[in-house]
Amino acid sequence: MSLLESREPSVASRPQSTPAHRAGPLQPTADARCALRPVGRSRITGGFWGEWRRINAEVCVPQGPALLEAAGNLHNLRLAAGQAEGEYRGVHPFLDTDVYKWLEAAAWQAADTDAAPELDAMISLIAAAQQPDGYLNSWFQVVKGGERYRDLRWGHELYCAGHLIQAGIALHRTTGRAELLAIARRFADQIDSTFGPGNAVDGVCGHPEVETALVELYRETGEPRYLSLARYFVDRRGYGLLAAKDRRAAEAGPAYCQDHVPVREATEVAGHAVRQLYLLAGVADVAAEADDSELRAAAERLWAEMVARKTYVTGGLGAHHDEEDFGDPYELPNERAYCETCAAVASVQWSWRMALMTGQAKYSDLVERTLYNAVLAGVSLDGERWLYVNPLQVRDGYRHPDGDHGVRRVAWFRCACCPPNVMRLLASLPHYFASADDCGLQLHQYATGRFGDESAQGAFAVRVVTDYPWNGRISIVVDECPAKATPWTLSLRIPFWCNGFRLVIEGEPTEAVPEDGWLRLRRAWRPGDALELELSLEPRLAVADPRVDSVRGCVAIERGPLVYCVEGVDHPGGGLDDLLFDPAPGLTEKHDPTLLGGVTVLHGSGRRRGTTALDGARGGGDGAASWWPYRSLGRVIRAKARADAGIAAAEQFELTAIPYYAWANREDGPMRVWLPTS
């Protein structure tokens, strides 16, 4: 295949400092200003995440090609390649990315298993669809007659390129195969010769994503032009280059695609959540590789703002269906939480970059919360159905409208960005769990597997066995370390929610105090040394910042990293809108291996609110009417006193809470994360 061979990337130009082995999606150069570096030899072999990765490998990823065929994505590429006839299918200009993200998932999967059989054919198709100068987008080639870069606001051309680049890198890193990377690089070169100073186009893409991809392409190839181009795209944004040229753009405004203020000056996240998050992943990458402290400060500032004011307790992001954007500060409605699954994936990607750059545990705290709740809720327990939006509440009267943004798990979406995004994250998941620095190894997340790396001092690795998140006990054995008995540091993240932990080293209970979220254990570790960390998973009740109006007077149940919810199916006979939770009796827990793939269920005390007591006939002289849902305060206080006096123990019942990620796997029905207490 001479065409592809001629596109072999110049590996000779890779910086010498890049590790020889292939890691995950993120591989900073040795020159990058990062406190920690990802480790290249991590594997998850069992436990909670092992099972999820099995489902991904055996169900999700294998189903991809047939779904992409049925949805028309491959047909569209064939049209671009001149290999098919007919109408373009679908109405989005970014349908190629579903293919690219699936390819990226299949590529990461190839690190564990044989590569998917459809992979070769898909790469050949993409190669055939690519135009001679490297440009590649089936929508513009087929539907728009080859017009290019004229609608940067909505065209998604660079966004598509970004996903192609990431897929090419993934395949190159896991298998050494260079064809897809060569295709991606030809597209990147076409973009590099088109955009930026001295070139024809001064502009940025309406949907960020290419920035982080270009930095990774720089890391993979050593070609500094890609880093420069990424920096250009980061810094040219915010100057109204994507200003309104059509009605929809005018209504969404420049903040929709983060074009309202340069990121260096921004004080809050804004606009379309996925766009904002991908952009900030790229900002973190550029900051690290270019050692740009101003950009780094912007990323730290925006992360803190987002988490403090615009993040759901699940880690979900995006409060508005309209424009898929962040809401105002503390505007976090539960039933209309958008919390796009893609936003959760992007949040993990960005926070992980921040964790590596800064070494701070809080970023991995958010990664953990987001993975267990906001990401996992997006895929069904059998791996066959998906949610695009992830609300924290479904009311009794919810009608489940059709469409991508309804709340019902479906096999695929018209805009199918989320499923392959989850696939690529799960396929590359071990990458996000551990890191290294010159002093040793850091475990950010806990899963059964082997986590390690090589460094200048030699190889470090630990084996972990755990039933986390069901059980807090995490057994760690040093598997490999430099032969010379020099001290090194094994750092264990103590999640901020953890009310207590117990540490045993070589059978000896050991006192240790975490610093800034890290338990830093420095000693002359030797192979076979054993630790046991036990994190308290005592159930907790969370309340929100009082400015979060939507959950005033409510609590959320949590256990370990898991946020819980109640579902209608567990509470027959009345829905959930009338439910009250009584925190006083506390919660009991029970692991049920037969329920929902095996979950720890929490039970508490609930009752149903009697609304009858609050109803009154019309004209009672105190401002109430039976048909009007608002009452005078005095009337309610009097009615409540009567109602409280009348509560018999018999009216209380056992309330059942399940992990939020497992909801909507039995039947469509009401659900609540936040429970009113009175």
Residues within window 491-520 making contact with a copy of itself, judged by CB under 8 A: 494, 496-500, 514, 516-517
| 333 near a copy of itself, judged by CB under 8 A | yes
| 540 near a copy of itself, judged by CB under 8 A | yes
Instruction: DSSP for 404-437, please give it.
Output: TTSSS-BS--SS--HHHHHHHHHHTGGGGTEEEE
Q: Which of 257, 417, 418, 498 is catalytic?
A: 417
Q: What is the smallest separation between the CB atom of 77 and a copy of itself, expressed in angstroms?
A: 21
Characterise 16 by phi-psi region: left (phi > 0), alpha (psi -120 to 50), beta (else): alpha
Stretch 269-288 residues interacting with a copy of itself (CB under 8 A): 270
Applying CB under 8 A, which of residues 403, 458, 487, 527 lies at the interface with a copy of itself? 403
Stretch 84-103 residues interacting with a copy of itself (CB under 8 A): 91
Question: Considering beta carbons, is residue 215 or 367 the nearer one to a copy of itself?
Answer: 367
Q: What is the smallest separation between the CB atom of 634 and a copy of itself, expressed in angstroms?
A: 8
Applying CB under 8 A, which of residues 197, 198, 593, 619 lies at the interface with a copy of itself? 619
| 405 near a copy of itself, judged by CB under 8 A | yes
The CA distance from 265 to 267, in Å, is 6
10 Å CB burial of residue 636 (0-12, 13-18, 19+) is middle
Question: Considering beta carbons, is residue 31 or 545 the nearer one to a copy of itself?
Answer: 545
Q: Which of 104, 118, 324, 567 is catalytic?
A: 324
Question: Considering beta carbons, is residue 6 or 499 the nearer one to a copy of itself?
Answer: 499
Question: Considering beta carbons, is residue 129 or 252 the nearer one to a copy of itself?
Answer: 252
Q: What is the smallest separation between the CB atom of 578 and a copy of itself, expressed in angstroms?
A: 7
For 47, other C-beta atoms within 10 Å of its C-beta total: 21
- Site stretch for a copy of itself (CB under 8 A), options 146-154, 198-206, 276-284, 325-333: 325-333
Question: Considering beta carbons, is residue 126 or 544 the nearer one to a copy of itself?
Answer: 544
Q: 444 and 491 in contact (C-beta within 8 Å)?
A: no
Return all residues near 54 (Cβ < 8 A) that are at least 6 apart: none
For 50, other C-beta atoms within 10 Å of its C-beta total: 16
For 661, other C-beta atoms within 10 Å of its C-beta total: 25
Question: Considering beta carbons, is residue 168 or 495 the nearer one to a copy of itself?
Answer: 495
- Site stretch for a copy of itself (CB under 8 A), options 130-138, 182-190, 287-295, 544-552: 544-552
Q: What is the smallest separation between the CB atom of 307 and a copy of itself, expressed in angstroms?
A: 6
Is 324 one of the catalytic residues? yes
Place of tokens 């135009």: 131
- Site stretch for a copy of itself (CB under 8 A), options 126-134, 200-208, 372-380, 490-498: 490-498
Query: Could you give the string, one character per residue 450-479, with x where binding to a copy of itself holds by CB under 8 A and - elsewhere?
Result: ------------------------------
Query: How many positions of this chain bind a copy of itself (CB under 8 A)?
Result: 92
For 514, other C-beta atoms within 10 Å of its C-beta total: 17
Kindly report the backbone phi and psi dihedral angles of residue 502, in degrees, each rounded to the nearest multiple of 5, phi listed first.
-130, 135
Question: Considering beta carbons, is residue 356 or 579 the nearer one to a copy of itself?
Answer: 579
Question: Considering beta carbons, is residue 295 or 554 the nearer one to a copy of itself?
Answer: 554
| 262 near a copy of itself, judged by CB under 8 A | no
Q: What is the smallest separation between the CB atom of 35 and a copy of itself, expressed in angstroms?
A: 17
| 609 near a copy of itself, judged by CB under 8 A | yes
Q: What is the smallest separation between the CB atom of 439 and a copy of itself, expressed in angstroms?
A: 21
Stretch 194-233 residues interacting with a copy of itself (CB under 8 A): none
| 307 near a copy of itself, judged by CB under 8 A | yes
| 336 near a copy of itself, judged by CB under 8 A | yes
Applying CB under 8 A, which of residues 572, 573, 593, 621 lies at the interface with a copy of itself? 621
- Cα of 162 vs its chain's centroid, Å: 17
Q: What is the smallest separation between the CB atom of 325 and a copy of itself, expressed in angstroms?
A: 10
The CA distance from 22 to 20, in Å, is 7
The residues with which 252 forms a beta bridge, in sequence order, are none
Question: Considering beta carbons, is residue 132 or 509 the nearer one to a copy of itself?
Answer: 509
The residues with which 606 forms a beta bridge, in sequence order, are 581, 653
Quote the tokens at residue 121.
């054919």
H/E stretch holding 450 = strand 449-455
Question: Considering beta carbons, is residue 91 or 483 the nearer one to a copy of itself?
Answer: 91
For residue 48, CA distances in Å to 45, 371, 592, 659 come to 10, 12, 14, 13
The CA distance from 135 to 247, in Å, is 28
| 240 near a copy of itself, judged by CB under 8 A | no
The residues with which 518 forms a beta bridge, in sequence order, are 493, 515
| 583 near a copy of itself, judged by CB under 8 A | yes
Quote the tokens at residue 631.
């009452």
Applying CB under 8 A, which of residues 8, 120, 133, 251 lies at the interface with a copy of itself? 251
Nearest to 371 by CA among 347, 404, 388: 347
Stretch 375-394 residues interacting with a copy of itself (CB under 8 A): 393
The CA distance from 263 to 260, in Å, is 9
Eight-state DSSP code of residue 331: -
SS3 555: strand
The CA distance from 359 to 352, in Å, is 10
Is 417 one of the catalytic residues? yes
Counted residue by residue, the chain has a size of: 678
The residues with which 462 forms a beta bridge, in sequence order, are 451, 478
Applying CB under 8 A, which of residues 82, 86, 553, 586 lies at the interface with a copy of itself? 553
Characterise 581 by phi-psi region: left (phi > 0), alpha (psi -120 to 50), beta (else): beta
Stretch 351-370 residues interacting with a copy of itself (CB under 8 A): 362, 365
| 589 near a copy of itself, judged by CB under 8 A | no
| 584 near a copy of itself, judged by CB under 8 A | no
Nearest to 154 by CA among 31, 249, 265: 249
Applying CB under 8 A, which of residues 6, 145, 265, 399 lies at the interface with a copy of itself? 399
The residues with which 532 forms a beta bridge, in sequence order, are 475, 504
The CA distance from 72 to 66, in Å, is 10
- Site stretch for a copy of itself (CB under 8 A), options 124-132, 137-145, 176-184, 535-543: 535-543
| 298 near a copy of itself, judged by CB under 8 A | no
Q: What is the smallest separation between the CB atom of 612 and a copy of itself, expressed in angstroms?
A: 12
Question: Considering beta carbons, is residue 397 or 509 the nearer one to a copy of itself?
Answer: 397
Cα torsion 359, 298, 374, 337 to 10°: value is 160
Q: 328 and 309 in contact (C-beta within 8 Å)?
A: no
Nearest to 225 by CA among 197, 203, 200: 197
The CA distance from 236 to 258, in Å, is 11
Stretch 628-647 residues interacting with a copy of itself (CB under 8 A): 628-634, 636
Applying CB under 8 A, which of residues 202, 623, 641, 653 lies at the interface with a copy of itself? 623
Question: Considering beta carbons, is residue 7 or 362 the nearer one to a copy of itself?
Answer: 362
**Residues recognised as catalytic:** 324, 417
